[in-house]
Structure 1
Amino acid sequence: MRSSSLWTASPKESRPVNIMLLYLVFILLISAVELSIDCPELCMCNAPDSIFCNNRKSTSVPHVPVTTQHLYIFHNNIPTLSQDDFRDLGELVTLDLSQNVLAEVPDRVFESLSKLKNLDLSTNSITHISKESFYGLVQLERLYLQGNRIQSIHWEAFEGLEMLLELKLQGNLLTSLPSLYFPSLLLLDLSHNYIPTLGHSDLHTPNLEALKLVSLGLTSVDEDVIGSMKNLHELDLSGNKLIEVPQALRQDSLKGLIKLSLASNPLLELRIKEFQKLVSLQELDLSGLNLQGFSDGFFESFPRLMHLTVAENPLNCQCPLAWFPIWLKEKEVKLKKPQITRCHFPLVNAGKMLSELEYKDFGCAPTTTEYIGFVKGNTFAPQIPTTPPDMIHTKAIPPPLPPSEETISSKTDNYPIHPEHPVSPSSSREENEQHFCPPNICLNGATCTLDSLGFVSCSCPSGISGLFCENELEDPEPQQPSTTKVPSVAPAMPSKPDAITSLHVTSTSIHLDLHHFIETRPNIRGIRLTYRNLSGPDRRPIILSLPTSYPEYTLRGLRPNCTYSVCASPLGEKNIVKSNSSIESGSCTEARTEGVLVTSVQPQVNGHTSISSTLITALAVLALVLGLAVMVGTLICLRRKRRANAGMELELGPADPDPTELDSIKSCLDNGVNGTLPLKQPEKDFCQTSQLPLLFQQNGHLDYESPLMQGQCPSNNNLASLKPSYF
């Protein structure tokens, strides 16, 4: 009875608790009112720490509360910045100033933003980066400078940015680079500048995952540059001046390469031995290389290939290439850009999509019947390869094979068949045809010209387009479907017209296809991308904001061997929060990341996850009430015990404390009021990790070419110290 009476508080003792609760509720109400009052004009303040001031057409940075963590001011008319604009925003984590008219980045303008992790200055008019443009940004992880007019960068401009994970410089006017020393960098994009040479001294990025060198004017690739990147997953060399496959691709360091693009290079030939080290390749782009076809077995070096692009090549759809569509179906390799992957030879197949052809359409020689006594046997005529099996020429296009009427008839009565040599063109004809276009290469009546290197160009007539004039303008009037023609099998389409799909998945990334989602919404101004880990203990959603100009997006820094739910919805629409704390609206898909063999890596979660203000308020109130209850209970226990001991000492003198009473008091301290507080549960291992994310770590990001995003967990499977990356 004594122990139960300890929890009975008098009205006077419970009055301070009630007053404290009323005071806490009052403070929360005041905070909500202040949030609505402090929101700048023409801005949206849907979350307590995020403010969207996009498309205001204002020339100044808005004044926002000092507690703001994510500030988006893209698509305004801001011409310049000053330190006063950000002086009191010490809590800022994300700052998006893209699509303004900034001409420079003043020295030390971001000095007070010591917690800033994401800075987007893309699509402005910046011409120079000075030594102190990014002074003080010691925690910066993502720096986006693409789409400016940058001509020079001070050689010390990036000093102090040792935490940088992503650097985007594509679409500027750079002709040289400072020495880029970034030990943690995961993504580097230098595309669409003019930097014809890159040496080993230019790049010190040993942990780089994605390197994009599109249209730099490269004539070669330094082997030491590629060899120093032991964790490279994606390499894009398209649109350069490479006349041979770089020797750098033969290094053992590229065994983990997943995506490779050699498109639109003047390569002379492709050899199988040049790709034998790329055993993990999943996506290969060989479009625009002037290829007529591939030798049988050319793709055996890529056992994991999932996506292949061979568009804008003058394919010779005759019997030597008949194996190719069959191989695509058997290996379940997806042929990308099928609409512009068309045949150019022979004339019967010219202009047809390769994906629509069947084996019989390649004109393989029919079977011949041989009589040996009274036994009949069917055999196929052997095919003579035009190129060695390990080599594909890409420089000049040879003429098509001789017409079928030149083949030797196999009909006999009672006489044996004497083999004859096939008819071949004369040497003078071969010599003359080196200076003329191959027949039938330019379609629809186009004019063909051949340069000194053997490259073909076609001058298309009016109403015709395409590299080889293969595309005709369609009749605006709809054609009536034919009742006798059997429709060809169309490529697989998503089940919903606006569905999003995952193109390829690795152990740390998911590549998303948002084409259909964007096409079905012509007036969409942005995409809200929401994803969450369904396999881990923390299933709270992470929300990103994407532009519509990039319909493909890669989530990086994910956990291996986990199932992720990804949903897309138009930016600005109200999300629906369900009971499981997930945000579901728009189109969704699920994808599971691959497992890894090495499990000793302990990913760390670093960043901030956006959760609702209601959940934060409820947890804060609950924690405070329980803490006060524990303190009140402890004080009551001690007071009752002292009173009892005082009474006993007056009658019997001092006595030793009762062990049962000490146990009761300890139980109050350990388990809280009436023992109702939950005990701490042991941590479990999810997704092959040995460390769980903290409860109140938050994440969020916005990028306009690719959104600014918060850190997740290391996307590098080999180094535990790296922070994650998104692209």
Structure 2
Amino acid sequence: MLRFFLLFFLPLLVLSSDCPADCSCNHPEHIFCFHRQSSTVPRVPTTTKSLYIFHNGISTLSQDDFRGLVELGLLDMSQNELSEIPDNVFEMLSKLRNLDLSSNQITHISKDSFSGLVQLERLYLHSNRIQSIHQEAFEGLEVLLELKLQGNLLSSLPSLHFPMLLLLDLSNNNIPTLGPSDLKTPHVEALKIASLGLTSLDRDLIASLKNLHELDISMNQLDEFPQALKQDSLKGLIKLNLAANLLGELRLEDFQKLSGLQELDLSGLNLQGLTQSFFQTFPKLIHLTAAENPFNCLCPLAWFPVWLREKSITLGRPEETRCHFPLVNAGKMLSELDHKDFGCPPTTTVLTGSHIGSTPVPQMPTTSPEVTHTNAIPPPPPPSEETISSKSPNPLPPEAPVSPSSTSGEYERHICPSSICLNGGTCNFDPLGLVSCLCPSGTSGLYCENVDEVPELPKTSPTEVSVVPPVMPGKLDAISSRQVTSTSILLDLHRFIETRPHIRGIRLTYRNLSGPDRRPIILSVPASYPEYTLRGLRPNCTYSVCASPLGERITSRNNSSAETGTCTEARTEGLPLTSLEPWVETKTSGTYTLISALAALALVLGLAVVAGTIICLRKRRQANAGMELELGPADPDPMELEGIKACLENGGNGTLPQKQPEIDRCHTPQPPPFLQQNGGLDYEVPLMQGHCPSNNNLASLKPSYF
């Protein structure tokens, strides 16, 4: 038994004796030293093959730190405090295959920083402060497979000559141009060049990467679809990220060479719609990301949630893929909408001869197979009656929309979605069954959302001359109040949002200009709210409301948005005063009798109140007198006032303090009685009263893009 014990536990005892302090050595060849809080490299056995010493506070390195570690194949020194890599410091580690120096403070890579690492396969230098790399720093790394340099301060690169490299990540640096001479990596499979400041993508560079499977060019300054992505060499591309560029409309012919895509990211491209024919180009697609786009959730987009479910497409960041318009769908997650939520017209039943058939109304217009406008929204509505009458001397009455599937002229009336037409527009359906709006005079736009800058003046006859005061057009980006009640203001933010399509949110600042307390109240509103209601306001008061893009610093000391946004003023309505009707004398004896009885009843009630108050005060004085005989006189207790108030309330006096008129609520509210006695020094009016309802009239949303 003793022999078995020694044979089993002796290796562990030897291992524990060689294990450095504050390290874990569960396996004799793999040592973990995490959060060791030491500025030096620990001394480990020469047989060590994997050494993890991340987050140790190591600031310097020397060759003696790795002397004798000829078997070491992995060295992880990430999250330390290294500011430089001494020359030839890793020269003895001839078998090292994986080196991780990420998340340090390294500023420069010299010529001999990686000298001797002839078998190195993975080099991670990301999240440092590297500003320059010597032209010969990577010479000798012939078998390198992965190189990560993202998140540094590089403005240029040495010529990267890696014949076996498979992954290269240069993202989040400042390298505005890349050419084939910069990257001599013919076998690279994953190239990540996001957020470099690129204005174009070199065609020859992409053509030289014949084994490319993954390409990330997001968050650059590309203003059109790169011509470099229209080459036959990209048929093997399976993952493409185009997010956060200014590409404009995406055309179907641009993606003809990318039929093998399995993952596609179209986030932040200001897309208002998507067509099903666009995605027919990608039969192998399994993952799609389209977050942070202002989608118009109308009938032409009704196919999208159905397509996701039928094709088993995984939608990335679904909580950030929401509707922007119309108001009935604003803020809703696109993937959770049903077909009926898009306002599509119902199917119609058509009688043709002796045959009865049911034909669905087309839900979307047919588009050319060559061009697909992913930013397109339904066609503009027909001109209004005023426009037709002003241009045609003999206008014809407008014809009712006819379903293209109807051959006999009979059609079923469609039901328009609620709140789709703005500024008094009338909902209608065009001949294709798509929603449109008939806009009144002075408005324009697909949904009558725009107000004309210079409205037409009414025509006058030669015999009648009228002076019309000029109408000053409002600012295109101004906010306005659409509806005002005694306690709320409905704000119209359509034009403010349209002129700033890339804002993360809206900062609303409002203050009461009618009272002495003009301290501002600031709210953060998502950019998906074209209308917003301020609630809990005071009646008969003038409020100043300003809007500015969320994230911009307000330089004015009074928190006004005059320098960064637009303002408007609105006055809340006053509450109607409930005045008593005038008393009219009558000569009937019954009326005088009733008045006499009411007067007698009021006199009795008054006497009862006085008597109750006197009895209550007398009893309390007697009780206080008895206490003073035993304990001596005492200071008046503030609770006595509360006791008297309770006695009055329970004494049945039947009178309540008269309510102050609501018109006085604009002024500073009076402090409670017990604070008035102390001069009100400790009383402060809160910015927002607790009893006021919420200012948000819609569901609370917190896009992850504010």
Q: 1:407 to 1:389 in 2, by over 3 A?
A: farther
Question: Residues of 1 paired with 2:525 and 2:189: CA distance?
Answer: 38
Q: Secondary structure at the match of 1:269?
A: coil
Contact 1:457 1:468 in 2 (8 A): no
Question: Residues of 2 paired with 1:375 and 1:137: CA distance?
Answer: 83
Q: 1:445 to 1:61 in 2, by over 3 A?
A: farther
Question: Residues of 2 paired with 1:76 and 1:433: CA distance?
Answer: 66
TM-score where L is the length of structure 1: 0.55
Listed as ranges, the matches of 1:360-379 within 5 Å are 360-372=340-352, 376-379=356-359
Contact 1:345 1:400 in 2 (8 A): no
Q: 1:445 to 1:124 in 2, by over 3 A?
A: farther
* RMSD, matched Cα: 3.9
Q: Please state how far the C-alpha of 1:214 moved relative to its aligned partner.
A: 1.2
Q: Please state how far the C-alpha of 1:377 moved relative to its aligned partner.
A: 4.2
1:114 correspondence with 2:99 = no
Aligned twin of 2:321 = 341
Aligned twin of 1:408 = 400
Aligned twin of 2:266 = 286
Q: Please state how far the C-alpha of 1:116 moved relative to its aligned partner.
A: 0.6
Q: Please state how far the C-alpha of 1:33 moved relative to its aligned partner.
A: 3.4
Q: Please state how far the C-alpha of 1:357 moved relative to its aligned partner.
A: 1.1
Question: Residues of 1 paired with 2:495 and 2:409: CA distance?
Answer: 46
Aligned twin of 2:164 = 184
Aligned twin of 1:198 = 178
Query: Residue 528 of structure 2 aligns to which amino acid in structure 1?
Result: F
Q: Please state how far the C-alpha of 1:429 moved relative to its aligned partner.
A: 3.9
Q: Which has the larger radius of gyration?
A: 2
Listed as ranges, the matches of 1:228-627 within 5 Å are 228-372=208-352, 376-383=356-363, 385=365, 390-391=370-371, 393=373, 408=400, 429=444, 436=476, 448-449=495-496, 458-461=505-508, 464=524, 466=526, 468=528
190-199 vs 428-437, which moves further: 428-437
Q: Please state how far the C-alpha of 1:295 moved relative to its aligned partner.
A: 2.0
Question: Residues of 1 paired with 2:477 and 2:36: CA distance?
Answer: 57
Please, which of 134, 137, 150 is the counterpart of residue 114 of structure 2? Answer: 134
Offset from partner CA, 1:635-686 (integer Å, 9 cap, x none):
xxxxxxxxxxxxxxxxxxxxxxxxxxxxxxxxxxxxxxxxxxxxxxxxxxxx
Runs of 5+ in structure 2 lacking a partner?
Answer: 386-397, 412-428, 454-474, 481-489, 509-521, 533-706
Query: Residue 180 of structure 2 aligns to which amino acid in structure 1?
Result: H
1:35 correspondence with 2:27 = no
Question: Residues of 2 paired with 1:456 and 1:389: CA distance?
Answer: 34
Q: 1:388 to 1:307 in 2, by over 3 A?
A: same
Contact 2:299 2:364 in 1 (8 A): no
Contact 2:132 2:154 in 1 (8 A): yes
Contact 2:168 2:191 in 1 (8 A): yes
Query: Residue 52 of structure 2 aligns to which amino acid in structure 1?
Result: Y
Question: Residues of 2 paired with 1:222 and 1:342: CA distance?
Answer: 34
Aligned twin of 1:489 = none
Query: Residue 206 of structure 2 aligns to which amino acid in structure 1?
Result: I
Query: Residue 14 of structure 2 aligns to which amino acid in structure 1?
Result: E
Q: Please state how far the C-alpha of 1:229 moved relative to its aligned partner.
A: 1.3
Superposition misfits of 4+ residues, deviation over 2 angstroms: 24-34, 366-411, 415-440, 443-458, 460-472
Aligned twin of 1:210 = 190
Percent identity of paired positions between Structure 1 and Structure 2 = 60
Query: Residue 194 of structure 2 aligns to which amino acid in structure 1?
Result: V
Query: Residue 459 of structure 1 aligns to which amino acid in structure 2?
Result: I
Question: Residues of 1 paired with 2:355 and 2:367: CA distance?
Answer: 36
Query: Residue 76 of structure 1 aligns to which amino acid in structure 2?
Result: N
Q: Secondary structure at the match of 1:35?
A: helix
Question: Residues of 1 paired with 2:430 and 2:193: CA distance?
Answer: 53
Q: Secondary structure at the match of 2:276?
A: coil
Question: Residues of 2 paired with 1:93 and 1:31: CA distance?
Answer: 23
Q: Secondary structure at the match of 1:349?
A: coil
Query: Residue 156 of structure 1 aligns to which amino acid in structure 2?
Result: E
Contact 2:506 2:525 in 1 (8 A): no
Q: Secondary structure at the match of 2:229?
A: helix
Q: 1:214 to 1:452 in 2, by over 3 A?
A: same
Listed as ranges, the matches of 1:165-180 within 5 Å are 165-180=145-160
Contact 1:449 1:457 in 2 (8 A): no
1:225 correspondence with 2:205 = yes
Q: 1:456 to 1:74 in 2, by over 3 A?
A: closer
Q: Secondary structure at the match of 1:270?
A: coil
Please, which of 63, 71, 81 is the counterpart of residue 91 of structure 1? Answer: 71
Offset from partner CA, 1:201-258 (integer Å, 9 cap, x none):
0001111111111111111111111111121111111111111111121112211111
Contact 2:272 2:375 in 1 (8 A): no
Contact 1:346 1:400 in 2 (8 A): no
Query: Residue 212 of structure 2 aligns to which amino acid in structure 1?
Result: L
Q: Please state how far the C-alpha of 1:409 moved relative to its aligned partner.
A: 6.3
Aligned twin of 1:637 = none
Q: Please state how far the C-alpha of 1:41 moved relative to its aligned partner.
A: 0.5
1:104 correspondence with 2:151 = no
Q: Please state how far the C-alpha of 1:34 moved relative to its aligned partner.
A: 2.7
Please, which of 23, 31, 54 is the counterpart of residue 74 of structure 1? Answer: 54
Q: Secondary structure at the match of 1:46?
A: strand
Runs of 5+ in structure 1 lacking a partner?
Answer: 1-21, 473-727
TM-score where L is the length of structure 2: 0.57
Question: Residues of 1 paired with 2:430 and 2:61: CA distance?
Answer: 83
Contact 2:192 2:216 in 1 (8 A): yes
Query: Residue 63 of structure 1 aligns to which amino acid in structure 2?
Result: R
1:47 correspondence with 2:94 = no
Q: 1:27 to 1:272 in 2, by over 3 A?
A: same
Question: Residues of 2 paired with 1:387 and 1:292: CA distance?
Answer: 16
159-168 vs 288-297, which moves further: 288-297
Q: 1:86 to 1:217 in 2, by over 3 A?
A: same
Please, which of 95, 104, 107 is the counterpart of residue 124 of structure 1? Answer: 104
Q: 1:465 to 1:176 in 2, by over 3 A?
A: farther
Contact 2:273 2:374 in 1 (8 A): no
Contact 2:383 2:438 in 1 (8 A): no
Aligned twin of 2:131 = 151
Contact 1:295 1:391 in 2 (8 A): no
Q: 1:363 to 1:451 in 2, by over 3 A?
A: closer
Contact 1:399 1:438 in 2 (8 A): no
Aligned twin of 1:494 = none
Alignment: residue pair count: 445
